[in-house]
Structure 1
């Protein structure tokens, strides 16, 4: 058990942090929702009612889709674009998908290589791009979930104001949907930009996200 925890400490830490933040959000969201309900002359709801509501679902989904978009774009863009001096980038001149030898696939696979990396045809092609595909699918699913939950939450608000509800397509084209979406996207893109550029000049000793403390600013794609 101790060995399992040590070998998986990073993922376990972020899993627990995620769970704690989600539970905290659910209680804080319930309190905020009930405060607005009382202000508007409505009735408060229970925690269980809130976490199964469209209001909670849209808040969660809109954050998830922006996070997965961030990683999807970072994964795909770094195949072709570089940033000299950043440990988040390949060295200039190594843009592209690299050769089979460099990627250790097909006849260049090693004994410990995944089975699909040793295979050919569709299986190798799928596995070669599987990380991007999964990130893209999760992003698309969470963005769709945001749009569906957002439509319900938006219509609840409109009905409380004696306005006609809108359809899913109407909501997806609305200012409310794109305001929710873009305010998350811009923060994610800024965070990635900051990481790429700051890691050129700043260091964090012992972190694989940083260059060695003594590495030159122009050193690219190296880890501590």
Structure 2
């Protein structure tokens, strides 16, 4: 019952806010993530942007992904932790984007992808052999991190995916599990360590800049 109420509350809110944004450009521009606006103190955008989407395809993909993984966290850790990870991952994903693009005041982004990534990777941290697209979760995570880190460090023209927000959200999800369930992290240290190798490379490259 709790699972349905919480998930559907997020689902309905996200659909409603996104739909309004589809039809109201002023509302969309006011609440999307934008580096310059956040740097000027408009911190509400760090969370509000997670409820806006570019189009129906973007919205549906994120909500379906959240649907498939939300139950793992709610049943395993409770609804409060699920909500904390979801909203925290949206905020941290945007904060990470703010750091990465701090010299590009024009950079903007929208979408729940950071929050969804946080939930997915929290689930993988709890169950490394969880099947994601028919492969073990830890291996999927390794590929995901490798691709996202590469694309973030080597941006391509026309690539509109927010790789930094995805990475930031995923990192928050992993850290949350490490904080609330440290023994699980220790038990799964080998697989999670392999999965985190691209993040180590990312940290090295960012420190060199």
**TM-score in terms of structure 2 length:** 0.33
Q: Which has the larger radius of gyration?
A: 1
